[in-house]
Amino acid sequence: MGRREGREDPVRLSRLASQAGVTVKGVDPELPLIIRVDSRETQKGEGFVALHGAKVDGHRFIPDVLAKGASLIVCEAGSYRDEWSSLYPQCAFVLTPERCEYGLASLASAYLRSLEHLRETIAITGSVGKTSAKNDTKALLEDYFKLHAAGGNYNTLIGCAVTVLAAPADTEIMLLEMGANHHGEIAAMVNYLPPTIAAITEVAPAHLESFASLEGVLQAKSEILASKNLRCAVINGDNGMLCKRAEELRLPEVIRFGRRGEVLFARERLSWEKDHFTVRAILTGLDGLSFNLSLPLAGVHQLYPLCCAIAIAGRAGLSSREIAASLPKCRNSAGRGEIRLSESGAAILDECYNASPAAVKASLAAMDSADIPGRRFLILGEMLELGTASVSEHGRIFERALHVSDLLYLFGEEWKNVEGTADYYYDSIDALIEAVDGTRPGEGDVILVKGSRGNHLERVVRALEL
């Protein structure tokens, strides 16, 4: 499974423009291109796409990024000024007939089709675990293929487009993450950037404010399975709704992972070892071979995104032996289960990036089941975008948290609506940090920090590390 070598004929922007329905003025750069969506982050020699945000129009900042030496501007045709090309002859201008995200997505679509060595376009979605599955897939495949993956949380249409346009011309595996909080968002991504392998990590209550019900979540996530290029779907085999939907769609190939399916985990157990969790299990790969797993994961629930990645890697051609050799590279990242140590020796479980009901329940189960020698601290932010289900879902989490914790701290407006939370609620992060510090966490204590990104609980993690 060797990598292909050799210099490719360069793909230039003008070659893609006619296919994408956009106009290019000025210089004609080669791809790949580094394009930013934030003018403050755009550096000399990089591109900038002027998006219409909810509060700010990115076109306002075009003069600023030009002055910094931007090499590419993507803007709406009606906002382009002729003098820009004469004042900045080193810059290419892409003029879109409609909103910039659609013009950029069209360019990305054309570039994806031009990649001569591309074997697979892999896209991953799910209510929980999609970023972990993406990171694990990257870790398993990157030593065997020329792989290009989405960075950070680039899981929107614009994020996926920017990712594709930054891919080297000799890319063999394109790895994308697709998120959504409204119907049709994943469908748009799939339309522009159709995956050959589409994975769904889980369907669970999340973004109910938009999706209204679990069936609505299922419909939104299932949009990824409508890819015109789909060869294989990788799905959570323990989710009955999802498996039934896959059967109804009559997909060309389905690989299931979990306790049921073609890629399996069994005899899983979680332990606390001095300053971190360790998950042990027996895994069975797509080729039917079983192997032992021992990794510092934040709970047995993280076997699901890991097995999703193993299924994808197996479908891409890796043997279970090759996968097992790469497993030590699969690690928790900041905000998603990474363990940090405070100067006093307390372990901080950093889960501050995301908090759906399913994700919080899984983290609480890990804290409850492991043999932690000291105290269990729970710092829980609110779960956002749950709509009418918010009070009941927060209430269930509160009851469970009371059972699991030695010390409980709640932050976020949604907790105020739950009966009995007043004694545990803090209306500012500073007050919360002061309260936790007052208990003097030390060696043997474990502090779970879990909340939606909008709670900014990373401030708590940073403060507790000191």
Strands 197-200 and 120-125: parallel
Whether omega for the bond prior to residue 32 falls within 30 degrees of 0, making it cis, is yes
Q: Domain check: are 161 and 295 in the same one?
A: yes
Q: Domain check: are 225 and 278 in the same one?
A: yes
Could you say which DSSP state residue 336 is in?
A: B
Domain assignment present for residue 8? The answer is no
Residue 321: both structure tokens together: 């032996």
Q: Domain check: are 306 and 399 in the same one?
A: no
Q: Domain check: are 325 and 362 in the same one?
A: no
What pLDDT tens digit does each residue of the chain (466 aa) get? Answer: 544 454 567 899 999 999 999 999 999 999 999 999 999 999 999 999 999 888 889 999 999 999 999 999 999 999 999 999 999 999 999 999 989 999 999 999 999 999 999 999 999 999 989 999 999 999 999 999 999 998 777 899 999 999 999 999 999 999 999 998 899 999 999 999 999 999 999 998 877 777 878 899 999 999 999 999 999 999 999 999 999 999 999 999 999 999 999 999 999 999 998 888 999 999 999 999 999 999 999 999 999 999 999 999 999 999 999 999 999 999 888 778 889 998 889 999 999 888 889 899 999 999 999 999 999 999 999 998 888 889 999 999 999 999 999 999 999 999 999 999 999 999 999 999 999 999 999 999 999 999 988 899 999 999 998 7
Q: What is the predicted pLDDT for the residue at 369?
A: 92
Q: How far is 312 from 115, CA to CA, in rounded Å?
A: 21
Report the CATH number at residue 130.
3.40.1190.10
Domain assignment present for residue 258? The answer is yes
Q: What are the two backbone dihedrals, phi and then psi, of residue 399, each rounded to the nearest 5 degrees?
A: -60, -45
Q: Strand, helix or coil at 236?
A: strand
Domain assignment present for residue 108? The answer is no
Q: Domain check: are 217 and 322 in the same one?
A: yes
What angle (nearest 5°) sits at the alpha carbon of residue 82, between those of residues 80 and 83? 115
- Choose the final residue of a domain: 100, 123, 138: 100
Query: Cβ–Cβ contacts within 10 Å for residue 87, how many?
Result: 12
Distance of CA 281 to the CA centre of its chain: 25
Q: Determine the structural domain holding residue 440 and report its residue range.
A: 338-465
Q: Domain check: are 311 and 348 in the same one?
A: no
Total structural domains in the chain?
Answer: 3
- Choose the final residue of a domain: 308, 329, 350: 329
**Residues shown for the chain:** 466
Report the CATH number at residue 349.
3.90.190.20
Q: Domain check: are 322 and 229 in the same one?
A: yes
Nearest to 66 by CA among 51, 85, 53: 85
Q: How far is 168 from 37, CA to CA, in rounded Å?
A: 20
Q: Domain check: are 291 and 388 in the same one?
A: no
The pLDDT tens digits for 387-413 are: 888 999 999 999 999 999 999 999 999
Q: Domain check: are 169 and 136 in the same one?
A: yes
**What does pTM read for this prediction?**
0.92
Question: What is 373-441 written as a DSSP string?
Answer: SS-EEEEEEPPPS-GGGHHHHHHHHHHHHHHH-SEEEEESGGGGGSTT-GGGEESSHHHHHHHHHHT--
Report the CATH number at residue 17.
3.40.1390.10
Sheet holding 347-351: strands in order across?
338-341, 347-351, 446-450, 376-381, 407-411, 425-426
Task: Tell me the CA distances in angstroms from 238 to 173, 204, 247, one per residue in order.
Answer: 27, 12, 14
Nearest to 289 by CA among 327, 321, 328: 321
- Choose the final residue of a domain: 311, 329, 347: 329
Rg (CA), the chain: 23
Q: Domain check: are 292 and 380 in the same one?
A: no
Nearest to 7 by CA among 117, 145, 139: 117
Task: Tell me the CA distances in angstroms from 414 to 204, 269, 397, 411, 419, one per residue in order.
Answer: 19, 33, 12, 8, 11
Domain assignment present for residue 5? The answer is no
Which residue is associated with the tokens 């360019």?
107
Q: What is the predicted pLDDT for the residue at 5?
A: 52
Q: Domain check: are 299 and 366 in the same one?
A: no
Which residue type sits at 83? E
Domain assignment present for residue 461? The answer is yes
Residue 113: both structure tokens together: 């089709």
Residue 132: both structure tokens together: 């972990």
